[in-house]
Amino acid sequence: MSAATTGSKAVFEAAALEATSLAAGGPAATVLKTPAAPLFSRPRPNRPAYMDEGRLLRRGLIAASFLFVFVAIILPLAAVLSRAFGHGWGPFWAAATDLFTVRALKLTLLTTVSAVAANTLFGLAAAWALTRFNFRGQGLLITLIDLPFAVSPVIAGLIFILTFGRLGWLHPLLTAWDVKIVFATPGLVLATIFVTLPFVARELIPVLAARGADEEQAAALMGAGFFRVFFEVTLPHIRWALLYSVILCAARAMGEFGAVSVVSGHLRGKTITLPLHIEILYNEHKITEPFAVAAILVFSSLLILLARNIVETVAKKERYLDVR
């Protein structure tokens, strides 16, 4: 009897401890996370089931999940690969090494790298300014950073046409300077930057806010300049969050279609990225080619997903996730 009582008491105390730690970490973290949280926060380690819904229902739900993921995600991927390699390695290779495909690949790499680099620098600057200083209009600034998420990619392209296009109000300036933006590479880069603008900033703002500025203030008081404080104190703490957001940003930049399609002008070999190249080949009723190009992008996305998972695992090991 007494052994049973102490036993259940220990269990209760453990549960109470867990509850208080949850109360300490939970709501505070949620409050910080919620207004400026990344839209797709990583799941945390889980707890077992407490609701006994029966073995049959449990197995049924698991089976239904497998079936859903199989039909909705595995089958489409398999369809692309089977069409890309259905006639053997030869046609795939011919399509993948075609002159226009290679040019599209190069252009995609160029736009992706430029957009990710620009948005990374911006994300770092915005996160530093927003979490380390108080100034008026911070909420408005966050809203503006979020804005591209609310804008259809097609509209993202449209606004650059209206700005820099032949009828755009900045067009006279561009002709005077002899610069081409719309229907040229700068337009593709700008449209991609717009669409992926929030990714890095949105991931870094809550992480930096949650860390607080004590260490940085100490470093600054000891006389370290901005770059020293930033690279030696701040960056080591946020490198995993940074890497994670860069990966997601790259995935989106590489695959952007709507915005890029509107500003591209579809000049073959000049302003065609890989996703646009797929559309052209598909509309020409080519059998293998569009799927071969799509297969290249499928492999790239799977690699990106793998990189994401590795970063997440390493970050968890280094307890970066606890910081969040």
Partner 1 sequence: MSRNRRALPGFGLSFGVTMSYVGFIVLIPMFSLTLQAVDVGFGGFWRTVTDPRILASCKVSLQCSLAAALINSVFGTMLAWVLVRYRFPGRRLIDSLVELPFALPTAVAGIALTALTVDKGWIGGPLATLGLRVAYTRLGIVVALVFITLPFVVRAVQPVLEQLPKDYEEAGRLLGAKPGRIFLRVILPEIKLALLTGFSLAFARGLGEYGSVIFIAGNKPYQTETAPLMIVTRLEEFLYGEATALAVALLAVSFIMMFFINRLQIRAAAFAGER
Cβ-in-10-Å burial (0-12, 13-18, 19+) of 244 comes to buried
Query: Judged by CB under 8 A, which of 6, 8, 20, 41 binds partner 1?
Result: 41
Spatial distance between the Cα atoms of 110 and 210, rounded to a whole number of angstroms: 34
Taking contact as CB under 8 A, which single stretch among the options 3-11, 33-41, 91-99, 203-211 is the one that binds partner 1? 33-41
x/- map, 106-145, partner 1, by CB under 8 A: ------------x--xx-xxx-xxx-xxxx-----x--xx
Burial annotation 16-53 (CB, 10 A radius, 16+ → b, else e): eeeeeeeeeeeeebeebbeebbbeeeeeeeeeeeeeee
Q: Which of 29, 23, 20 is nearest to 211 (CA)?
A: 29
Subset of residues 175 to 234 that bind partner 1, contact rule: CB under 8 A: 190, 193-194, 197, 213, 216-217, 220-221, 225-226, 229-230
* 94 versus 304: smaller Cβ distance to partner 1: 304
Interface with partner 1, residue 276, by CB under 8 A? yes
Interface with partner 1, residue 34, by CB under 8 A? yes
Interface with partner 1, residue 26, by CB under 8 A? yes
x/- map, 62-101, partner 1, by CB under 8 A: x-xxx-xx-xxxxxxx-xx--x------------------
Structure tokens at 125: 């600057």
Are the beta carbons of 286 and 207 closer than 8 angstroms? no
* 197 versus 242: smaller Cβ distance to partner 1: 197
Interface with partner 1, residue 323, by CB under 8 A? no
Spatial distance between the Cα atoms of 272 and 283, rounded to a whole number of angstroms: 14
Number of residues counted as binding partner 1 (CB under 8 A): 119
* 112 versus 240: smaller Cβ distance to partner 1: 112
Cβ-in-10-Å burial (0-12, 13-18, 19+) of 66 comes to exposed
* 74 versus 314: smaller Cβ distance to partner 1: 74
Spatial distance between the Cα atoms of 115 and 253, rounded to a whole number of angstroms: 7
Subset of residues 233 to 252 that bind partner 1, contact rule: CB under 8 A: 248, 251-252
